[in-house]
Structure 1
């Protein structure tokens, strides 16, 4: 069986200080990612916090590169990234290999950016990946032609391009069921 880890990508206070921040999808996201974290904790799946560091509210000195206030878990590891994927030059890849982890469960912010990019890179590096769309969040985006894509549009597109190529696409219940199905049964002698 694979050894799994839950990546909690960019669920940091920095986003609350960006002009595109919206609360509309936040309650459902909080509930889904909290259920996923609790489910992984109860199954002894390591929790890994990933934080994006750049400028403005994403600068370390801003004080906002910290977990959003609803998060109460204690991660087994924490990594800081300066690019869209969590694996490049963050130390995460080495940590995963040292801990013999070959299955990543993806959650966090933003669905189509850091979560999707991490999924693609992880797959290319040979990891099995489960993308838990329900436990990701994004914001509406407007194309140069003026058409605005809703968060549902963006999430559906991400699922379309990742499915069967880069990741297994599922919801929280599916991810936890996948973990349960892969737990070796105990034999009693």
Structure 2
């Protein structure tokens, strides 16, 4: 049995809406698909359920992107906040019960739900790897998507929350 899990966060159609603004990393979905195709261990899919907008339950935007169509998750659940550890399922208990000590993260948005989940996982003592090029985000206020993407990598690495990897590193 493996002690690693791949957690894909909020890989949802709603993030394709132009309302989100300018995104970075147009290769993120291809990298997520490559990770998923090569992954042999436990898989967790997490979906963000907003109270309104394109990510709300019942909206087309709430559905997973086509890259996840053939995924066979060991666990799938929704959350209403940034961290996957604060969703409909006690993720920490689920991981602990399976002896999982290493978490590999990818998904959307780099500096929001991916970063928050990585920080909480790091605080809980997991060995966290964030596959940065299998994430993307959007510009906010006066910061570009690329600036936020790099800031997340710096925050997680220098804060000791996670190692930053590329898809190539993992494959």
Q: TM-score, normalization: structure 2?
A: 0.88
Partners of 2:87 and 2:163 lie apart in 1 by 25
Q: Is the aligned partner of 1:167 residue 2:162? A: yes
Q: Show the counterpart of 1:96.
A: 95
Q: Show the counterpart of 1:106.
A: 105
Partners of 2:62 and 2:94 lie apart in 1 by 21
Partners of 2:106 and 2:80 lie apart in 1 by 18
Alignment of 1:170-185 (within 5 A): 170-176=165-171
Q: Show the counterpart of 1:140.
A: 139
Where does the alignment leave 5 or more consecutive residues of structure 1 unmatched?
177-189
Identify the match of residue 52 of structure 1 among 48, 55, 59. 48
Q: Show the counterpart of 2:145.
A: 151
Q: Does the C-alpha gap of structure 1 residues 132 and 162 become closer, same or farther in structure 2, counting only changes over 3 Å?
A: same
Deviations 1:62-107 (A, max 9, x none): 2432211232322121011111000114312222122211110010
Q: TM-score, normalization: structure 1?
A: 0.80
Q: Show the counterpart of 1:67.
A: 64
Q: Does the C-alpha gap of structure 1 residues 152 and 23 become closer, same or farther in structure 2, counting only changes over 3 Å?
A: closer
Partners of 1:5 and 1:48 lie apart in 2 by 7
Greater RCO structure (CA 8 Å; 6+ sep):
2
Whose Rg is larger? 1
Q: Does the C-alpha gap of structure 1 residues 24 and 112 become closer, same or farther in structure 2, counting only changes over 3 Å?
A: closer
Aligned length: 167
Q: Does the C-alpha gap of structure 1 residues 22 and 153 become closer, same or farther in structure 2, counting only changes over 3 Å?
A: closer
Partners of 2:60 and 2:30 lie apart in 1 by 25
Q: Show the counterpart of 1:86.
A: 84
Query: Is the contact between residue 12 and residue 51 of structure 1 (CA under 8 Å) also seen in structure 2?
Result: yes
